[in-house]
A and B are shown apart, each in its own frame.
Chain A
Amino acid sequence: MNKTWTVLKTEFINTVTRRSFLLTLILVPLVPALILGALSLFGGDQPSDAPSLIPSQPVVEDQVIEGYLDLANIITSTPAWLSEDRLIAYKQEAEARQAVLTGEISGYFVIQSDYLESGSIRYISQDFNPMTSIDTSWAINALIQYNLLGADQARLEAYQNPILVQYVDLAPDDVEAGIDISTSPVAFYVPYGMTMLFYVLIVTAASLMMNSVAKEKENRIMEVLMSSIKPRQLLTGKIFGLGLVGLLQLVVWLGSALVLLRLGGRTLQIPAEIQPSPAILLWGMVFFVLGYLVYATIMAGVGALVGTVKEASQATFIVILPILIPLMMVGAIINQPNAPLPVILSLIPFTAPNTIMTRMAITPIPIWQLALSISLLILTIVLLLRAVAGMFKAQLLLTGKKFSLGLLIRALLGKQLAETESTGRS
């Protein structure tokens, strides 16, 4: 126990005093904090009057001014968000023509008298450019839509986005309606950020584990260690030591993300309901620890198998593939956090940690799912720890092999590796 503690302490201190680790730990939250600070300094915090749903307005560097003649008499009013000087109404075509010639406006639309039947609109400008004409027509487009819908802002919004589905589970009472993520683009990024965060946290900590074992093999210090402590003590000390490193990273990153979201919520106009609650920090710690244990244990096994750090890193990609699945499906998970796919991913131990955390950032998760997911994770961890502890034997730790998934699985299953492979140096 004493020696396990020594290993734990040394792993922790050696990792957190590494300059690269400290830099990552501090810079990751610092960069968004600085961006947020800059945003609020440069007027990002001015509340905008714009309704959340205006026809998609293309970004045009120089705001063009255009005119129109309404021969069909369909334009009765102009909405507030379409400013007067963006689209100027003319009664006489001669006036409009004059304005084009003097450069006052870049062109003008003529809504033909038979517009309602033919839909015909002419656009007159000095130099016709098919590329820009498409871009510049959004204003007249929006104006006509607005007026055709009876100059009613609500109708326009409904017309623009006719379907706003809120996914509500029928069964569980403890689950409130999902949050409508379409109300703010930021609402997408909070759960997305959570997926990324958990991916990075788990993969970083697990890779530290693999590196630590592989380095001891590569530096040929393993034999001295073996003469002092049992391989299992070494494994236990490493798992806990590096787990603490990961937890530290999680608390610093997730904690500062929560603070940033609170502070920056106004700046970025994040609706209050999608601000994650501090309870997510606790759940985050639970699922980080579980996810870490799954992957760190496998990575320790990989480290025990291969001979060099380089070979170990090549194996990393294969091992972390499962945790990439929630990352690749993040769009689907965020859109329908309680659909079958995210639920299944939440229950598979290899994808559960970051799927659960992603969903949790958007919607409450039924207790039974959390309980089942945690139970399955614990079961997997126990089985993996047993298998890897079986691999942590001198014969394997003192030799190096070429990594393959098959070899790892065979070793995890406790199969005797081919005799030639396991021949120790004598």
Chain B
Amino acid sequence: MPIINVHNISKRFGETVAVDNLSFAVHPGEIFGLLGPNGAGKTTCIRMILDIFEPDSGEISILGGPMTDDKKNRIGYLPEERGLYQDIPLERCLVFLATLKGMPEKSAASKLTEYLQYFDLYDVRDKKVKELSKGMQQKAQLISTLVHDPDLIIIDEPFTALDPVNTEMVKDILEAKRDEGKAIIMSTHQMNQVEELCDRILLIDHGHLVLYGTLQEIQDRFASRDIFVRPRTPLPAVIEGITEIRQMNGRQLLVLAEDVEPHQVLKTLINQGIEMTAFEVAIPPLNEIFIQVVKKQARDEDV
């Protein structure tokens, strides 16, 4: 059963249509990438899931039905616009936010100690939040997103302001949470992180659904007709089924002829006794798919 089931939701602000007839589902045990250019309607979409905004039309089922106060306690949210109370000590701030998620003060404090130690913030727990660095505040916010062990985690740009070490730590946590069966919605513009972490993605633009499915499916759909090979012996000048051979950073790019499948080329190369250390279908980076799709959307809108 999906944790979130969004059915035909729309939301407009005055003349602006922020979300237009959008449907998707998020399942337990997956990291779901919510992608789209700036102003695509991602945050509005998240706010409707969280019951901060009500959709003008459509239905959202969350954890098996409409949102309730108890269900809010089972959700962790890291909004894109970061903020903590600046004038109070870090620990008091985090305890308050945890109790707002229904945690009793005592268990909140002990769980927080674990997280503060993990994120190397334990020594600064009595400092005022405003005295902490941006990265530290970001980690503190992640703690408040996770401390109540939510079943649904919604994080908007979780890696900004984090150094590579902390980025790895956050990734490890997210993967661990997925393995525990939690559902994670991650909104980000860092496509490499999406490729590394996300199982499925939803790409929206101007409030419309543009791409929706597993990462694999989508990349396959955009796969070009090219093959990368790293040969040990020189390639013959002409290969059957290949129209062009290009040199690229020590690899060779083979452009496939119409109606030829990559495995046929592999067979041909092996039969010709070519030794290779790598043979792969050129999967387009998500980044390129993103740019390609969004640009096409813009062109379509113009027409």
Contact = CB atoms under 8 A, between A and B. Distances in A.
B272 interface: no
Interface string B66-82: 00010011010101011
B44 A424 contact: yes
B53 A220 contact: no
Nearest to B17: A426
Interface string B170-189: 00000000000000000000
Q: How large is the interface on A (under 10, 10 to 19, 20 to 34, 35 or more residues)?
A: 20 to 34
B10 interface: no
Q: How large is the interface on B (under 10, 10 to 19, 20 to 34, 35 or more residues)?
A: 35 or more
A3 interface: yes
Nearest to B96: A10
Contacts of B75: 227
Contacts of A222: 83
A229 B52 CA distance: 10
Contacts of A423: 13-14, 16
A228 B81 contact: no
A226 B13 contact: no
B100 A228 contact: yes
A219 B86 contact: yes
B124 interface: no
Interface string A226-268: 1111100000000000000000000000000000000000000
A394 B52 contact: yes
Nearest to A425: B43
Interface in A377-426: 394-395, 398, 419-420, 422-426
Contact of B83 (A3, A7, A221, A424): A221
Nearest to A424: B13
Contacts of A112: none
A223 B79 contact: yes
B100 A14 contact: no
A425 B46 CA distance: 12
B85 A219 contact: yes
B53 A395 contact: yes
Contacts of A398: 47, 52
A224 interface: yes
B14 A420 contact: yes
B81 A220 contact: yes
A332 interface: no
B18 interface: yes
A226 B51 CA distance: 9
A328 B43 CA distance: 50
Contact of B97 (A215, A220, A228, A422): A228
A6 interface: yes
Interface in B119-170: 141, 144
A422 B50 contact: no
A221 B18 CA distance: 23
Interface string B36-51: 0001111110010010
Interface string B81-94: 11111111000100
A219 B83 contact: yes
Nearest to A397: B52
A225 interface: yes
Nearest to B43: A426
Contact of B84 (A219, A226, A395, A419): A219
A419 to B, nearest CB: 3
A419 B14 contact: yes
Contacts of A230: 69
Contact of B72 (A2, A7, A219, A227): A227
Contacts of A10: 96
Given A10-B96, A394-B52, A221 B14 contact: no
Given A424-B53, A426-B18, A426-B44, 9 more contacts: A6-B96, A14-B87, A14-B92, A226-B50, A228-B73, A228-B101, A394-B47, A394-B53, A424-B44
4 residue pairs, one from A and one from B, having the closest CB atoms: A419-B14, A220-B83, A221-B83, A426-B44
Interface of A: 2-3, 6-7, 10, 14, 18, 215-216, 219-230, 394-395, 398, 419-420, 422-426
